[in-house]
Amino acid sequence: SGPVLALVGATGAVGTVMIDIMNGRESVPWGEIRLIASPRSAGKKITVRGEELTVIALSPEAFDGVDVAMFDVPDEVSAEWAPIAAARGAVAVDNSGAFRMDPDVPLVVPEVNADQISVRPKGIIANPNCTTLSMMAALGALHREFELRELVVASYQAASGGGQAAIDRLYAEISALAGKDVGVRAGDVRETLEAAGLPVSDSPFPAPLALNVVPWAGSLKDDGWTSEELKVRNESRKILGIPELKVSATCVRVPVVTTHSLAVHATFAREVTVEQAHKLFEEQPSLVLVDDPAALKFPTPADVVGGDPTYVGRVRQALDFPNTLDFFVCGDNLRKGAALNTYEIAEELVTRL
């Protein structure tokens, strides 16, 4: 026996990583793991920790007896079903955008604000957006000591943040361009993709992604900001508990399959040295410091993808801005950025059920 865990969206990209994470754990606290998905995927068999489980269709009864229900489904599905799970007695841990900014729903990164797990008036806990999440462990550690005041970030976001279709598109573009002398004349990448049957009008991205960078992620919001940039601002404020934090973000998609990176420029109330920052990063178990500029050692997505920690490097004291650090983080957007953080919240809940 033990608590019952449900995984809603078990057959999706992040759901699959959640199962990988559970399969990789030495032990899990669950007496039962229940896999739930759309009726289309019901009946599918998936092996979890050596046991073949049958995926069941999403229904109110599917939550009977469930203690913790992890959701990785589109916003509208979470908006409808997380409250149903909660009404049936489960705590819903939701990785969609449906509840993140709801004042009655805690937005949790366990190593930053685990204490907020216990106050959940709606029976729902939200998992942050992967872009915000990728820098939270580092910023949380610095904020505890030096009091964060201002944050300017540029993201370098991987295709997989846009789902499987976005990954497929990036690979297709790379294949279509491989071996060709393109990227030397304005428009030649677009034209080559079009000639290969890959017009940008069919892409999840608003411009070619291969051999390019695209300063756009999410949807258009007021005054030219994207949804992704506003999430970085609003979610950072909520997670760190600094409602007045000054934040400015520019979110950019890069031709990387998985692992988001961010260039962070963070200003604190007090002076902070590189040595002090290094020490805090080294003490934080979910961070790995890779910062030896003389040896050209720093994190890159290609070197960290598939791992659980967030990697931090290029830590510098800003030359012209007092009390300010610049640094670079890389985190696997499907693991800590989504599945792992959600699962860590679920395990943390077990100690507080």
- CB atoms under 10 Å from CB of 51, counted, come to 9
| Smallest gap from residue 175 Cβ to ligand 2RA (A) | 22
Among 12, 128, 162, 331, binds ligand 2RA (CB under 6 A): 162
| Smallest gap from residue 157 Cβ to ligand 2RA (A) | 5
| Smallest gap from residue 270 Cβ to ligand 2RA (A) | 31
Minimal CB distance residue for ligand 2RA: 161
Among 130, 148, 232, 240, binds ligand 2RA (CB under 6 A): 130
Under the criterion CB under 6 A, does residue 258 sit at the interface with ligand 2RA?
no
Active site residue 265: no
Of 146 and 156, the one with the shorter C-beta distance to ligand 2RA is 156
Provide the H-helix boundaries in 109-152.
Answer: 110-113, 130-146
Provide the H-helix boundaries in 209-339.
Answer: 227-240, 274-283, 301-304
**Beta strand ranges found along the chain (DSSP E):** 4-8, 32-37, 45-48, 51-54, 56-57, 68-71, 91-94, 124-126, 148-157, 246-253, 260-268, 287-289, 310-317, 324-331
- 77, 17 in Cβ contact below 8 A? no
Among 11, 129, 203, 310, binds ligand 2RA (CB under 6 A): 129
| Pairwise CA distance, residues 80 & 90, whole Å | 15
Residue from 72, 123, 120 nearest 97 by CA: 72
One of 143, 251, 260, 330 is an active-site residue; which one?
A: 260
What are the C-alpha distances in Å from 114 to residues 71, 77, 118, 127, 141?
19, 26, 8, 12, 13
Q: Which two tokens stand for residue 216?
A: 């756009």
Of 34 and 100, the one with the shorter C-beta distance to ligand 2RA is 100
Among 131, 226, 261, 342, binds ligand 2RA (CB under 6 A): 131
Active site residue 251: no
Pairing of strands 56-57, 32-37: parallel
Of 129 and 286, the one with the shorter C-beta distance to ligand 2RA is 129
| Smallest gap from residue 87 Cβ to ligand 2RA (A) | 27
Of 129 and 342, the one with the shorter C-beta distance to ligand 2RA is 129
Q: Which among 78-86, 117-125, 126-134, 296-304 is the span making contact with ligand 2RA, rule CB under 6 A?
A: 126-134
| Pairwise CA distance, residues 69 & 345, whole Å | 11
| Pairwise CA distance, residues 232 & 151, whole Å | 10
| Smallest gap from residue 28 Cβ to ligand 2RA (A) | 26
Of 95 and 324, the one with the shorter C-beta distance to ligand 2RA is 95
Residue from 140, 122, 148 nearest 244 by CA: 148
| Smallest gap from residue 73 Cβ to ligand 2RA (A) | 13
Under the criterion CB under 6 A, does residue 161 sit at the interface with ligand 2RA?
yes
Provide the annotated active-site residues: 130, 260
Residues that bind ligand 2RA (CB under 6 A): 129-131, 157, 161-162, 217, 228
